[in-house]
Structures are given as C-alpha cells and as structure tokens.
Amino acid sequence: MTENITQTDAADRRFSGLPGRPGKIIAVHLSYRSRADQRGRTPAAPSYFFKASSSVAASGGTVERPAGTELLAFEGEIALVIGTAARHVPLADAWDHVGWVTASNDLGLYDLRQGDKGSNVRSKGGDGFTPIGPHLIDARAVDPAALRVRTWVNGTRAQDDDTSGLIFPLAQFVADLSQHFTLEPGDVILTGTPAGSSVIVPGDVVEVEVDSPATGATSGRLVTTVVQGEGPAFDDTVGSLPAVDDTQREEAWGSREAAGLPASTTEAPAAPASILSPDLRAKLAEAPVAGLSAQLRKRGLNNVTIDGVRSNHPDRKIVGTAKTLRFVPNREDLFTSHGGGYNAQKRAFDAVGEGEIIVIEARSETGSGTLGDILAIRAHANRAAGIVTDGGVRDADAVAAVGIPVYSSGAHPAVLGRKHVPWDADVTIACGGTTVQPGDVIVGDADGVIVIPPALVEEVVDAALAQEEEDGWIAERVAEGHPVDGLFPMNTQWRARYEAEKTR
C-alpha cells in the first residue's frame, strides 16, 4: 500500500506544471524561420507528431541519456495548454480555446530517429523527454504574437526568439489540429523550437523560460539535468538499436562545425542563385522542350533528354533545378543497412527546396515503385517544381491527385525494396539515358524532359524563343498558302522579308 501511494505521488509531481495529466501531447515539426533557415527548408503548412504523456517531467528533474547513445538534444519551446474543447474552430476563434501558456523542452534522441521512420515515437517519447512548467501563464493575459522563449545550457544562453519569428501564428496550430480531432481540456501543443537547439551531455543543466516582455508574465525557468543511463539500455532481439551517422550528428548539433565534422566534400555545390531568376524561369516556361533541344543540338549536345518518361499531368510544364537521388540494384544486406530509417530517399524529399526538381536514377528499372503518395505530398509541401524518375510510381492515382507533376516510366504496385536500395543524394546520376548533375536546369513538357547545363541556359532559351518567333511567322505564311520549299527553312529572299517585317 505504501509503495502504491509513493508511485502515485511521484506521478502527480511529473504533472505539477500542468492542470493535470494531458490526454494528448502534439508537437510541431518546424515552425520558426530561424530553424527553417538552419535546416534549409521552409514548410508550406504545419506538420505534427505525438508524444506520450508518460514522457512529461516537472521542473527540477533529470533526464537520462541511455547507455550507448550520444545525440540527446534539447529544444526549448512554448507549450500551449488547451482550456476548452476545440473542434472545427476557425482561426479567428482558436486562441480562445487556449487556457494557459508555459515552457517546455522537447528533448529528442537522434540515435533512434532512423528506427522511428519519421514518427519520433522512440526518439522523442522516452521517460522524462518532455519537461513542462514550472508555472502556467494565463493565455487571456498575454498577446500570442509577443511571447518569448529562451534556453540556457549551463548558464549560457543558447536560444532566444519570440513569436514574431514563427512561420505560422500560434492560433493556427489550434485551428488546424481541430479540423482533424477534438482538442480536449488539458491537451498540450508543443509549438516548435527556434534555431540554437544542440546536443547535451550528462552533467549539463538546461533551463527554458517563456515570458511576455510586455506584461512581465513568466513561466519561470524550467530546469532539467542530464544524467547518464546505465547499460545495456536496448535489446536488439525485440527492436532496432541506436545508430548514428554524420547526417544525424550534423542535424543534432546544428551544423557540421558544431559537431566537429570536416567540411563536406561530397555534396555538390548549389547552383548560383542567379541561374533561375524569375525572368529566366519565365522564359523557360515559355520555350518548348523541342525548341530547347534543337538549340542544344546546334551547340553539340545531343545526349540531354531523359528518355522513357511521361508526365502524370501532361498539360503542365516543369521548370527547375535538379536535386538528385540515386538508387542502386537491390541487395538484401545493403537494403537492411541503407533501406530503412531516415534513408537517402527520405532525406532527399525532406530537403528539396522551392523550385527544385527531384531527379531519380532508377536505372530505367520499371519493376518497382520509386516513390508514392506520401513522398509526393512532402515534395509538394516543400514547393518542389516536379519529380522525374526513370523508374515506376506507386499509388499512381493518389500521386496524381497530389498535384505535383511527376514524370516516370509508369505505374507499378511494388515497394522500393523489390528492385532498389536508396543509396545517396546530391550526386551526379544517370536518369533515362542522360547524365544529370545537382543544379542542372530541368525543363519538361508534353514532348519530354531535357537537361540544360547551367552555363548555357540563358543563351539557349533566348535562341529557342527567337526560333519560336521565326517559326510562328513561317507558320502564318504557310497558312496563307505559300509552299514550304524555300520558306522552311527560309532562303535569302524569305529571310530578307522576315527581317524587314520584324524591323517594322
């Protein structure tokens, strides 16, 4: 009996910074511009994951870094606590359903991200991984657009941002989530972290505070101390073991430099920002692929078409720069090591930027899908301009419904592992019989897809548009009844007439 009372008291203390044990904890993936700039991608809409209520901890407690792991990271955040039930609430009324605001620390173990496949169930759901508190701020007494969150590690400030730096206003999370399920009193929304999140080690003390500078209202400092767990922490007979690589280290620490990694020598340099200026992009959108192909041929480039692919939206054109992804032939041991977790395919679709086109090398193997609707949604949310793969597409109807143009060899129901291993991204690849480098300019229309070296793109598109104008004039003359002999191509007499009319 005494033991049960002790356990209940301990459980109650975990939730001392809240009105009670929350039914749901929903966390936002990426919400601050500073963090988006650090990650190199800006979401078009909020995305979320769930955390277990058993992960909640009170201020003054400890969090264990499990034995055999290295990448435990802090994320200071503003926590919203729902005061009244919210279901299908409009944005204008959403803040009325927030009862309180307080500080939170969305701790995560990057060593477990690969096994989670993006869900964060284990990487962020551990006991003590969601400290909240210590005090609640009345949401009625503060301006949600003027709240501040700060984090200190061992007394040194690591994060300092306010809600003016959010990509989405706080109330939008409430309105958005209420479209899908009822937010109940006591539910918690962790609203994302600004730049500055990094790795912490045993002995470190992390403090997070949320306040309203205008009113002086504050959550007080939420204090958590990191301790070392005793091993062995995980059993490989029942689940995946922790695993890290330099990609995880870079993301956990915030940069390669902070992680102690050498500057990357494998990533291709990004195409210069001026390569696709708005004016140049507009020209490419006007120029037909056939005309661009003719101009490249005049300059000695014949092997620049991605063959064997057709668009799921043939009425729409794509223009962008290439972000490359390479698959190698499936080998079971290599798929085990490279096919699961946060693999190269997922990293490429997460990292694709606005106006880029994901180009996939699948060796023209049509016996498997190379993407499905979830990845198409991710690319579309990142405002990618399109996807080109010389392999197949799963969930073809669902992918088409997403709206992003996809050029592929056709539909196939099989999963990736039947034929492919996702191997690497941002490298030189072969797609549909031609070589594609990161940053190459990609243009696609109903005739097909062409690859243009960045150094030639301005010259080629201007020449293609000039030829289109000339061909349009010739077409008018043919429609008037003139024979094509001597007119197409133009002889000296027709050329002189064309130039004279063009001058006028």
Binding-site sequence positions: 372-375, 394-395
Pair of tokens at residue 363: 């060796």
Closest CA to 64 of 110, 114, 126, 9: 126
CA dihedral 317, 323, 324, 325 (to 10 degrees): -100
Contact of 484 with 337, CB cutoff 8 Å: no
- In the annotated binding site for substrate, the residues are 372-375, 394
Dist CA 222 CA 163 (whole Å): 19
N- to C-terminal Cα separation, the chain: 101
Buried b (16+ CB within 10 A) or exposed e, 183-194: bebbbbbbbbbb
Q: Which residues are known binding-site members for Mg(2+)?
A: 395
Determine how β-strand 305-306 pairs with β-strand 310-311: unpaired
Compute φ and ψ for 308, nearest 5 degrees: 80, 15
Residue 231 falls in which region: left (phi positive, over 0), alpha (psi -120 to 50) or beta: beta
Residue identified by tokens 């192909």 is 293
Residue spans of alpha helices (H) in 206-343: 246-253, 278-286, 289-298, 332-338
**Residue 303 structure tokens:** 């092997």
Strands (E), 366-459: 386-389, 406-408, 420-425, 429-431, 434-436, 441-445, 448-452
Q: Take residue 250 and report the two structure tokens written for it.
A: 């870079």
Q: Which token pair is 35?
A: 């963090």
> What crossing angle do the helices spanning 457-479 and 289-298 adopt, rounded to 10°?
120
